[in-house]
Structure 1
């Protein structure tokens, strides 16, 4: 069967869904394709589901921090893992069907199967061939290949959230946000947790000072973090897994071995584009990602892309939604809207949360005014029973505008949105002083962070 469409969308994650919603009532004929369950990574298998796990870890940790400070239990709690998995299953079970029905109700034709280009405007989807005037690629990402012996024994983050019984000893490969977040979750389920990171720095895109403080909080929770430990191989035996690392110091090399019952992939993700046959559509790729311009247009002017499969910006749910909106506007109205990444916030949902927006700078920067506050003794931190909390605000003194902000501590993921709005709207640092917040909250602390 061969059909013609005005718009074909490949991928049903955040970017694909957003574009579909924006163009659905345009009167155009639209098709959408997914090789797996509808919904992509998030919400059914990504950010939304992960937040269920990190939120529960936070509740468990909060109880334990407040023992003998008024909380109702006098013994430490731990995550009831089997009930968490059961609850997660109930919440996410109907998600793919609900998302697909949403497309159908909007009059969008849905297809299942692996999609790839036959030529510049023809897509093969399973047993179907469909042609599109415009095509939007939103195929997301997948775990990076580790290229080590025993890689088949590694558990992905998605598989981790399906594990019915959490083992006693867990090793995370890599020091990115996935490892840190799930390490804190596993620790609150009373697993013994180790992070093996290949280089000297965790969360390399974040602020060094704030990350170092988060590392202290993570180690205080009983999580081992070992730097310069690139994983070389994984072996399976009767006692679980033997993970070998190799490290180099000058001309000397050192090999170490670690025991675990589960090894989890936290070493990053890459665009999921290998099977699309993009060369047949004349689409340019750089460093394994689809190259797009400020309109989210690929090197083929009739094909747009958004989300984790592109080379643009941070790999965040909010960014994927923004890119889907921009691509939709430009398909409907010939490149009328440029994407703007100013003031996009992000958060590492560890315990405590590290939230950030904008640029980074050291405390002794000679380019910016940097205001660092140790917030460990502030009321909002003490009432939560937390030991580690801080903030860093970076100001361009030439125009008195905030160009970066970092918050570590209770409710940081919410409070950072204030700074994100200020940066995106181009407001001055002095404008924050005019704001009135509910008190006492982390947002009411913002005035004192400046």
Structure 2
């Protein structure tokens, strides 16, 4: 905590992730007195316990997969992962974040507090022995792993724990069929572990295109990942250094002895410790209930941004930044800025990568629009054949009436780039014809885009 007896601030921010930091520093630059509070190491989830360290590990796993694809095609032998070396490399990206974040607050003159915050009144926050009063309050506390109501749930390791594993277990299980489980399962499998992924229905990665998900699952099965779909985990117990997972798979008993069981079954808004009722702040399972300007519908002095807000935005870091910019504008200018969520891309960083933006095929059909669905197996295309990729697909959904791009879905090693091309076009209203007319460097992933945009 900075040494200050001050207890009243123009703005109190709860959470030091990307949204909280952005609003706090922007308001401080305009002369506001600002306090920021977080019980966890400063810097937020994405940079320390989520996207960034995960991508370091995923990048190494990708190299293994790429070299294997070209084995016998010029590459003599595939590489191998050294887990401890990889984790040491990962640590170089995260170890300085809490200290550097604190230093940034100190230099900016932001009053920072390490501790758990809770409301005591509509404009008052209790943290430790201190009660702070805020002219405005921003809730940016992010999300946390959902409670699963499994016997022995306390034995589960969360995603942060996986990202800090000093030694990778020989056998590991992931509960949940979302992107966290898929990404970690791929990393663990490429690192040589026996991997089991357990999901309670037959539709993993439910927000992504099912045809491409099926192809990704097939790819990961070939890698050795064991999928247990329509499987309900019932109990976890510890037996020495191992954990015993008991489940029902298609009605039959499943028993796995593994070195770790990882929670990858979704996250929920991190609001339980905030005493929102005392602050007059309404919330539901989606998070703090906000209007289009990110202001609490029940307490006009309170805003929320990022994963904790009940906004229509996806729980992604770029959305936290988008909402934070809207909050900042509305605080400083007393404006009515609303976040523009048009064309929000999301990527599953497996190998191949799975990426999506806009409508799924089912959503487009339900919209009543006259649509054209282009589905391509691109594994034989030059771009992917030269890299030995056996799984490369794209599905692009177009509106026949005006040529607009309604959705794009990509599965391959270049999905993160291709999805961004489509995102730019969709966000700025480019038609299929206009995007297809764009000159991309050849030969590159971009030079293939024109062939994905057939309207006839």
CA contact (8 A) 2:175 2:263 kept: yes
- The one of 248, 271, 274 equivalent to 2:272 is 274
Which stretch shifts more, 267-276 or 437-446?
A: 437-446
Q: Structure 1 stretch 167-176 or stretch 436-445: which is displaced more? A: 436-445
Paired position in structure 2 for 1:16: 20
Tell me the residue number matched to 2:316: 316
Q: 1:397 aligns with which of 393, 397, 400?
A: 400
Q: CA deviation at 1:247?
A: 4.8
**What is the aligned-residue RMSD (CA, Å)?**
1.6
Structure 1 residue aligned with 2:377: 374
Please give the secondary structure, in 1, of the residue aligned with 2:63.
Answer: helix
Which residue of structure 2 lines up, in the alignment, with residue 48 of structure 1?
A: 52
1:167 equivalent in alignment to 2:169: yes
TM-score by length of 1: 0.95
Equivalent in 49, 70, 74 of residue 74 of structure 2:
70
Counterpart secondary structure, 2:450: helix
Aligned to 2:121, the other structure's residue is in SS state coil
Greater CA deviation, 307-316 or 355-364? 355-364
- CA contact 2:189–2:225 (8 Å) conserved in 1: yes
Partner of 1:79: 81
Aligned to 1:5: 9
- Shift in Å at residue 364 of structure 1? 10
Counterpart-to-counterpart distance in 2, 1:3 and 1:267: 40
Residues 185-200 of structure 1 correspond to what in structure 2 (within 5 A)? 185-200=187-202
| Contact 2:20–2:138, Cα closer than 8 Å, also in 1 | yes
Task: Supply the distance in 2 between the matched residues of 1:199 and 1:212 (Cα, whole angstroms).
Answer: 14
Distance in 2 between residues matched to 1:275 and 1:266, nearest whole Å: 22
CA contact 2:364–2:406 (8 Å) conserved in 1: no
Q: Deviation at 1:288?
A: 5.3
In structure 2, relative to structure 1, the CA distance for the partners of 1:69 and 1:328 (3 Å cut) is same
Q: Is 2:35 the counterpart of 1:35? A: no
- Paired with 2:291 and 2:364, the residues of 1 have a C-alpha distance of 36
Of 237, 248, 268 in structure 2, the residue corresponding to residue 246 of structure 1 is 248
1:98-137 equivalences under 5 Å are 98-137=100-139
Paired residue secondary structure (1:134): strand
Aligned to 1:284: 282
CA contact (8 A) 1:363 1:370 kept: no
Instruction: Determine the structure 1 residue equivalent to 2:416.
Output: 413
Q: CA deviation at 1:334?
A: 1.6
User: Aligned in 2, Cα 1:81/1:166: closer, same or farther, shift over 3 Å?
Assistant: same
Instruction: For 1:139-288, list aligned pairs within 5 A.
Output: 139-238=141-240, 240-247=242-249, 253-287=251-285
TM-score, reference length from structure 2: 0.94
Kept after mapping to 1: 8 A contact 2:269/2:285: no
Spell out structure 1 runs of 4+ moving beyond 3 A: 362-367
Unaligned stretches of 5+ residues in structure 1: none
Return the match for 1:449 from 440, 443, 452: 452
Unaligned stretches of 5+ in structure 2? none
Give the 3 Å change call, closer, same or farther, for CA 287–381 of structure 1 in structure 2: same
Whether the 8 Å contact between 2:200 and 2:229 is mirrored in structure 1 is: yes
Question: How many corresponding residue pairs?
Answer: 444
**Aligned residue number for residue 326 of structure 1:** 326
DSSP 3-state at the match of 2:408:
strand
Q: CA deviation at 1:121?
A: 0.5
Q: Which digits, 9 at most, give the CA deviation of each residue in 1:374-431, with x for residues without a partner?
A: 1111111112211000111111222211011011102211221111111111121111
Q: Give distance in 2, aligned partners of 1:209 and 1:327.
A: 38
Whole-angstrom distance in 1 between the partners of 2:101 and 2:363: 46
TM-fit CA distance, 1:70 = 2.3
Instruction: State the match for 1:425 in structure 2.
Output: 428
1:68 offset after TM fit, Å? Answer: 2.4
Give the match for residue 355 of structure 1: 355
